[in-house]
Chain A
Amino acid sequence: MPKLIFEKHVTNSNPFSLPACDIPLPEISETIPAHFLRNETTALPEVSEVETVRHFTELSTRAYGVDSGFYPLGSCTMKYNPKINEWAARLPGFAGIHPCQSQDTVQGALQLYYEMQEMLAEINGMDAFSLQPAAGAHGEMTGIMMIKAYHQHRKDYKRTKIMVPDSAHGTNPATANVIGYEIIEIKSNERGLVDLEDLRAKMNDEVAGLMLTNPNTLGLFEEEIQDIAAIVHDGGGLLYYDGANLNGILGVARPGDMGFDVVHVNLHKTFGTPHGGGGPGSGPVGVKSKLIDFLPKPVVVKNEDVYSFNNDLPLSIGKVKNFYGNFGVIVKAYTYIKSLGAEGIKEACQHAVLNANYLRHQLRDDFNIPIDRLCKHEFVINSKKQSAYGVTTLDIAKRLIDYGYHPPTIYFPLIISEAMMIEPTETESKERLHEFVDVMKTIARESAQETDKLLNAPQNAVIKRVDEVTAARKPIVKWEAP
């Protein structure tokens, strides 16, 4: 077990030094009154540079990224992160600009922002975009704020509810609640799609809107999306598009054409920017014209080849983030879209959908697939066939780790018991998919014949299964000096 960085502390071993400086250096106690000064120690570790480098290098060897191998994590779109994107974001002309510089000194950054707004609007069929939200859930929040502001501006105060399907990502109901809405859950039908009867019955003049992922979390396209949109719009509500699954229709169909009024996209899913072990992401929001006035400010505008921030948006919901957004992430996504171009964008989607359906076909003999029909970028299996041997989805996931794979998303969506949600993405080769299939078939066989291998998995990882119960009951959330 590697030591913590604090356990590697050696007094006076850290070599950090500042350049010489020919100015007066009075004691701090003479220049800041003692009342403001710290008495407590900070007690950060002192470690030599080489040992610090080795520390973090060792930690990296105990992690697993897309570059390490196949990462079929459903709804997370773990596609390859092109290296040119990393290069671009680190250019001094991007990484080294201060957000408060005068606009004439950052014309390149503003141009990139403007072009990105335009490209996302085109790809999604929306009228305008803001790049400000920092993540998908942040984009959702911004979108729901705009829906609220829209209704309030129309003095329509009775709309206090948001509808969310039972298959939705957890962020959807959480977001609506955070913005002060009551949640109405819409049932899925036996085909795994929104139950139109349930939707019709629940739509009324207290409903502000419906949040929907399309393709949904089962990887299924909501075929009746136009009817869904009509029901919501006829009832005076707005339609929100959770772009987490945009990779399943990218370049083939657009949320804007389906009737969605607000969308967010996850640049760290669909547009190839890395997930960073949990962020930073970027969650731009797009709107139809009737909601443009409510976008967070500022937005970037172009006037005769000069780019500038427009802060003159009196109905704007205001700001949701410091400055203008996760620019470094946006540079990477811009690079990605420019690299792929119109044709490449569509091909990415086509190959993602092909890979998902191919994998579904390959796994159907050995695993139960509750809804086994044409899917988009992902599909859901479960452990029904294996449960007779006392094997759960968790066991299958842990056994995959033994074979060197990152497991798929498990126990989601909630409407499928023991769910395992598989999203291969377009950046996996047929050979790689077959290696995964072979492993899954082996695991299916082991379930019946060598059950212990699953129940005790993983055996080949750096640790075995962990005691999560004690972690939550008696939380230890920081290191304490012995």
Chain B
Amino acid sequence: MKYTPNPSSVVDEMLQAIGCSDLDDLFVDIREELKIKHRLNLSAGMGEMEIRNRLKYLADRNINTDDYPCFLGAGAYDHYIPAALEQLLLRSEFYTAYTPYQPEISQGILQSIFEYQTMICKLTGLDVSNASMYDGGSSLAEACNVACTNSKGKSKVVISDTVHPEYLDILKAYALSGHMEIVVVPGEDGHADIDAMVKAIDNETACAVIQQPNFYGILEDPTALEKAIHGNKGMFIMSVEPLSLALLKSPAEWGADIAVGEGQSLGISLSFGGPYLGFMAASKALIRKIPGRIVGQTTDLDGKRAFVLTLQAREQHIRREKAASNICSNQALCALASSMYLSFVGDQGLKDIAARCHHLALYARQEFEKAGMQLMYKQPFFNEFALRINNPGNANRILLENGIIGGYELEDALLLAFTEKRNRAEIDQLVAVLGGINNA
């Protein structure tokens, strides 16, 4: 298969027109010894039917959530995606476009981003949202970087280990910069040790970070932490699950300066971990400090409402070595998917979905308890909890034999997530299989 439209006769004409005798003449500026002499060790090109077979073969070697009910969460969730969204996302004016640098020819994309920013602000309660980051983990690291590079030399990040462990790994990698010192405070009993976090805050602390719900699905109460970090003139950063915000207190209500999170729940397929959607929202005071693209509303010469990339003086292509972030390509199409998702489900729909997830999780807990099993932790949760079980790896294997994708394996527990795609029958079967193992 090839996508070059000029046949060889046309190529010859074009070569002749520019005074070349063959295609090799176009590469005389590359020293001979640098040219590839061997045939690249790649397979020969494939026609479309062959390539379909190849990809179908690989895809069929994976067990997927269309065929198996999935109780895995841990930062990626098996939510329903409306059919209309999937079709609209294939409008090629959206997906084959570049970043909307030229506003006159990109109003549709710019408006969609403006709508996305507004929705993120509504969910988080904050004043400003950027046009997306790579994912939940990297957006958290970028938020901490904002705090550390805008707090007069303070560089300490006080963070609970009840945050997603991969987010902590990413934060530590970003800290190779030398701009951040990461202080991980161990949690207790499945939630953040707020007292210990408060004690860890000192004059060097730029920010304090909590995840809501935390990695174990538990709701954190950061009231005292927010007071302490603000009392110390540091920033309070929350990593939040956007769907849960239909029910749960918003980051603004908790007093957060920056909210970040993983937006995959909002209409983005699981796709083995990506592409997903990092979001970032912040208080008004930080509008010129946050990284990434921002779309603003303005007018054109005729006074008509128009949208444009704005505050670009913050960004790498203008500020170069003085830029605080290097982000360029983001996850614009995923951001578009999430704003389509929120439009299709609507305000009440989002509340209903969040409530259903929570109710299914409550039902599962009730049934597990009836079967004599216990949760690891007793605190309130949203749609995910850790179920105590011996040898969780073995439990997952048996679940798979029963046609179920089980949970995330913790030490002596399975972290189980419940989305609106699950139903009573599936949960009953989950409980029956795990109950059987537990009582064996």
Contacts and interface: CB of A to CB of B under 8 A. Distances in A.
Given A47-B346, A257-B34, A337-B42, A277 B95 contact: yes
A284 interface: no
A68 B169 CA distance: 42
B95 A81 contact: yes
B330 A278 contact: yes
Given A135-B134, A277-B336, A65 B92 contact: yes
A280 B334 contact: yes
Nearest to A71: B98
Contacts of B193: none
Given A33-B380, A341-B45, A358-B17, A42 B3 contact: no
Contacts of B439: none
A354 B169 contact: no
B177 A180 contact: yes
Interface stretch (B99-107, B203-211, B227-235): B99-107
B179 interface: yes
B61 A276 contact: no
Contacts of B40: 122-123, 251, 342, 345-346
B312 to A, nearest CB: 8
Contact of B346 (A44, A105, A223, A351): A44
A40 B125 contact: yes
B380 A36 contact: yes
Interface residues of A, number: 198
Interface string B88-117: 101111111111101111111101101101
Given A2-B111, A354-B15, A430-B6, A99 B273 contact: yes
Contacts of B352: 16-18
- Most chain B C-beta atoms within 10 Å of own C-beta, residue among A26, A327, A361: A327
A56 B88 contact: yes
A339 B51 CA distance: 6
B173 A107 contact: no
Interface in A81-121: 81-82, 84, 86-102, 105-109, 111-112, 119
A482 interface: no
- Most chain A C-beta atoms within 10 Å of own C-beta, residue among B62, B106, B301, B325: B62
Interface residues of B, number: 203
A464 B104 contact: yes
Given A38-B253, A353-B26, A477 B129 contact: yes
Nearest to A118: B41
A328 B274 contact: yes
Nearest to B270: A98
Given A252-B36, A339-B46, A342-B44, A44 B317 contact: no
A96 B162 CA distance: 27
A6 interface: yes
A45 B347 contact: yes
B274 A323 contact: yes
Contacts of B1: 82, 84, 339-340, 344
A389 interface: no
Contacts of B138: 134, 138, 320-322
- Most chain B C-beta atoms within 10 Å of own C-beta, residue among A102, A134, A324: A134
A466 interface: yes
B250 interface: yes
A350 B36 CA distance: 13
A53 to B, nearest CB: 6
Interface stretch (B67-75, B183-191, B370-378, B429-437): B67-75
Contact of B329 (A268, A464, A479): A268
Interface in A335-392: 335, 337-348, 350-351, 353-355, 357-358, 361, 374
B347 A42 contact: yes
Contacts of B339: 5
A93 B59 contact: yes
A312 B122 CA distance: 42
B302 to A, nearest CB: 6
Interface string B237-253: 00000000111111011
A279 B30 contact: no
Contacts of B75: 322
Contact of B95 (A65, A94, A472): A65
Contact of A178 (B298, B324, B347, B353): B324
B329 A36 contact: no
A1 B343 contact: no
A236 interface: no
B343 A5 contact: yes
B51 A137 contact: no
Contact of B275 (A26, A134, A476): A134
Given A101-B62, A468-B310, 16 more contacts: A16-B344, A17-B349, A35-B221, A38-B247, A66-B96, A170-B316, A278-B333, A296-B173, A320-B138, A323-B273, A338-B54, A342-B43, A347-B2, A407-B102, A432-B5, A472-B313
Question: Which 5 A-B pairs give the minimum distances between C-beta atoms?
Answer: A323-B273, A93-B59, A108-B61, A341-B45, A65-B96
